[in-house]
Amino acid sequence: MIRKSTDRAANVTTYECEGRLSAEEIIEAVQALYEGVPTHYVLWDLSSADTSGFRSDDIQGIASFVKRQAHSRVGGKTAIVAAGDLSFGLSRIYEAYAAMEGQQAEVRTFRSLEEARQWLKV
């Protein structure tokens, strides 16, 4: 399950993920973000998510999808919080794919919400 909240004053959208997460859920959330007025900063909290079903091609597919959508967030930042080793590793793989795809928003992975918020300056 993905819960979305938006703080327009801070220009940040936060996604809190719980339970078993799928690539399709993430793509749906990203699509909804870009169908509206996307914020400059995005925070994905995977701390309570089960990412064990993800494969490398799922991660690459998400990165490719985001690249096609994200032209309106040039110079933006996306922070991913992944406390567990598997989620952290997968998120770092996403960072690499995002860079290879030439995404316009910078992506970084963190172990804690506090670190992510400091980087986003929110």
Q: How many domains does the chain have?
A: 1
CB atoms within 10 A of CB 11: 15
State pLDDT tens for residues 40-92.
999 999 999 999 999 989 999 999 999 888 777 888 999 999 999 999 999 99
Residues 6+ apart with CB under 8 A from 121: none
Cβ atoms of 49 and 17 closer than 8 Å: yes
What is the pTM assigned to this prediction?
Answer: 0.93
Q: Supply the CATH number for residue 76's domain.
A: 3.90.190
Q: Look up the domain containing 29 and give its range.
A: 2-120
In order of 81, 112, 115, the CA distances from 66 in angstroms are: 18, 23, 23
